[in-house]
Chains A and B, each alone.
Chain A
Amino acid sequence: MTAAAPTVSGGTQSSRDGAVLFRAQGLHKSFGGVRAVRDISLAIPMGSVFAIIGPNGAGKSTLLNLMSGVYQPDAGKMRLDEIDMIGVPAHRRVRYGLARTFQKIRLFKQLSVLDNVVAGFHTHHNIFAWQYVLHGAAFQRDHARCRDEAMGLLAFVGLEKRAQVLAGSLSYGEQRMLEIARALATGPRLLMVDEPAAGLNAAEVDTLLDRIGVLRQRGITVVVVEHNMDLVMKVADRILVMDYGQYLFEGSPVEVQANPAVIAAYLGADFQ
Chain B
Amino acid sequence: MQRQTTVMRAVLNSRLFWLIVAAVAIGLMPIIFTDSYWRTNLIVCAINVMLAIGLDFILGYAGQLNLGQSAFYGIGAYVSTLLIMKLGVPFWIAFGCGVLLSGIAGMLLSLFAVRLRGHYLAIASLGFAVITYQILVNWISLTQGPLGIYAIPPPPALQLPGLPIIDFKNLANLFYLTAGFAFLAYLLLDQLVRSPIGETLTAIREDEVSAASLGINCQAWKVFAFAVGSSVAGAAGCFYASFVGTLVPDAFFITESFTILAMVIVGGMGTLIGPVWGAILLTVLPELLRGVGDLRLIIYGVAVTLVVLFMPGGMVQAARFIAAYFRSLLPGRGAGA
Interface-located stretch among B106-114, B192-200, B279-287, B314-322: B192-200
**B192:A132 contact, CB within 8 angstroms:** yes
- Residues of B close to A90: CB separation below 8 A: 209, 212-213
Interface flag for A135 (CB, 8 Å): yes
Interface flag for A141 (CB, 8 Å): no
- Residues of B close to A108: CB separation below 8 A: 202-203, 206-207, 210
**B209:A119 contact, CB within 8 angstroms:** no
**B210:A107 contact, CB within 8 angstroms:** yes
**B207:A185 contact, CB within 8 angstroms:** no
**A122:B209 contact, CB within 8 angstroms:** no
Interface flag for A183 (CB, 8 Å): yes
The residue in chain A whose Cβ has the minimal distance to the Cβ of B217 is A91
Which of A68, A115, A146 interacts with B213 by CB under 8 Å?
A68
The residue in chain B whose Cβ has the minimal distance to the Cβ of A106 is B210
**B212:A89 contact, CB within 8 angstroms:** yes
- The CA-CA distance from A102 to B196 in the complex, in Å, is 23
- The CA-CA distance from A99 to B215 in the complex, in Å, is 9
Interface flag for A202 (CB, 8 Å): no
**B199:A115 contact, CB within 8 angstroms:** yes
- Residues of B close to A110: CB separation below 8 A: 202, 206
Interface flag for A70 (CB, 8 Å): yes
- The CA-CA distance from A139 to B207 in the complex, in Å, is 26
Interfacial residues of chain A within 114-146, with CB under 8 A of chain B in the complex: 115, 118-123, 125, 131-135, 139, 142, 146
- Residues of B close to A142: CB separation below 8 A: 196
Per the CB 8 Å criterion, the residue count for chain A at the interface is 38
Interfacial residues of chain B within 172-199, with CB under 8 A of chain A in the complex: 188, 191-192, 194-197, 199
Which of A95, A111, A115, A146 interacts with B215 by CB under 8 Å?
A95
Contact (A121, B212) CB under 8 Å given A133-B191, A134-B191: no
Interface flag for A100 (CB, 8 Å): yes
**A70:B209 contact, CB within 8 angstroms:** yes
- Residues of A close to B217: CB separation below 8 A: 89, 91-92
Interfacial residues of chain B within 190-240, with CB under 8 A of chain A in the complex: 191-192, 194-197, 199-200, 202-203, 206-207, 209-218
**B191:A119 contact, CB within 8 angstroms:** no
- Residues of A close to B200: CB separation below 8 A: 119, 122
Interface flag for A94 (CB, 8 Å): yes
Contact (A139, B215) CB under 8 Å given A122-B200, A133-B188: no
- What distance in Å separates the Cβ of B227 from its nearest Cβ neighbour in chain A? 14
Interface flag for A182 (CB, 8 Å): yes
- The CA-CA distance from A146 to B196 in the complex, in Å, is 10
**A91:B206 contact, CB within 8 angstroms:** no
**A135:B214 contact, CB within 8 angstroms:** no
**B207:A122 contact, CB within 8 angstroms:** no
- The CA-CA distance from A78 to B218 in the complex, in Å, is 23
- Residues of A close to B213: CB separation below 8 A: 68, 70, 90-91, 94, 99-100, 102, 106, 183
Q: List 27 A-B contacts (CB under 8 A).
A: A69-B212, A89-B212, A91-B213, A91-B215, A91-B217, A92-B217, A99-B213, A99-B214, A100-B213, A102-B210, A106-B210, A107-B210, A108-B207, A110-B206, A119-B202, A125-B196, A131-B195, A132-B191, A132-B192, A133-B192, A133-B195, A134-B191, A135-B191, A182-B214, A183-B214, A186-B214, A186-B215
Chain B interface residues toward A at CB < 8 A: 188, 191-192, 194-197, 199-200, 202-203, 206-207, 209-218
Chain A interface residues toward B at CB < 8 A: 68-70, 89-92, 94-95, 99-100, 102, 106-111, 115, 118-123, 125, 131-135, 139, 142, 146, 182-183, 185-186
